[in-house]
Amino acid sequence: MVGDTKLVLWQLIVELDRRGALKRKDITNEIEAVKRTKAEKYDSLMESGEPPVNPYRVYAEIMASLDRKNRFVTHESGNTRDQLSTVYEAIIPYGFMGWGNVSTLGFSLGVAMGAKLAIPGREIVSVNGDAGFSYQVGNYEAVVSSRLGITTGHINNSGYSPVFWGNGHSPYTSEVTPFDIVNTSRVVEGLGIHSERIEDPDEVAPALGSALK
């Protein structure tokens, strides 16, 4: 079935009503229960004030900051996908773009640039990891030269999906030069992009504020 989701779903509801389909009144309770279970697991992480900055705290701040009804968010390949697609609640159409499980690292920058061109009035936020960033870094020049105002949150955990990939096939596939040596913030600053390096969880919201204003 191909069609405008909102219209087609509405037509389906009308048709099911017409045929006397049973209504599942318990469905909203079921959704609320699932949401409560999710909150029990993730709320403390999303409120975490412990350093190093918990990625879930970053996502909570992205949801809390400025105009969420005018925002497009996407993730990167790796933990940011698993985490954001679990906790990010999109409240508008085209508010969140989730993409494949093993899709090419770095894709989120193209997604963000495309989104900015397609819906120019929107705040565009992408979140990437160490490997995603490395795949993207040459292309930030295009963001600057095309004057595309997008915001990227970089989860600099100095590992290629630690935990998820374990140690990988060898340590070299999971360990990345640590952030006290590599400063990705200064890399993009050198490309002419405003950048703030955050180490305290309470700095996340002000940094997003200055990026999105």
Ligand X SMILES: Cc1ncc(C[n+]2csc(CCOP(=O)(O)OP(=O)(O)O)c2C)c(N)n1
Residues in contact with ligand X by the rule CB under 6 A: 76-80, 102, 104-105, 129-132, 155, 157, 159-161, 164
Q: Whose Cβ is closer to Mg ion: residue 90's or residue 165's?
A: 165
What 8-state DSSP symbol labels residue 38? Answer: H
Q: Kindly state the tokens that stand for 183.
A: 């400063």
Question: CA geometry: angle at 11 spanning 5 and 14, to 5°?
Answer: 140
Smallest separation, CB 20 to ligand X (Å): 48
What 8-state DSSP symbol labels residue 65? Answer: S
Residue 74 touching Mg ion (CB under 5 A) = no
The amino acid present at 86, given as its one-letter code, is T
Q: Whose Cβ is closer to Mg ion: residue 129's or residue 201's?
A: 129
Residue 132 touching Mg ion (CB under 5 A) = no
The residue from 58, 125, 130, 207 that contacts Mg ion (CB under 5 A) is: 130
Residue 157 touching Mg ion (CB under 5 A) = yes
What's the distance, CA 133 to chain centroid? Answer: 14
Residue nearest to ligand X (CB): 129
CA distances from 120 to 14, 70, 116, 123, 150 (A): 35, 11, 5, 8, 10
Residue 76 touching Mg ion (CB under 5 A) = no
Q: Whose Cβ is closer to Mg ion: residue 121's or residue 171's?
A: 171
Smallest separation, CB 78 to Mg ion (Å): 6
Per partner kind, with CB cut-offs from 5 to 8 A, the member of ligand X, Mg ion, none near residue 102 is: ligand X
Q: Where are the beta strands (DSSP E) in 54-174?
A: 71-74, 96-97, 123-129, 151-155
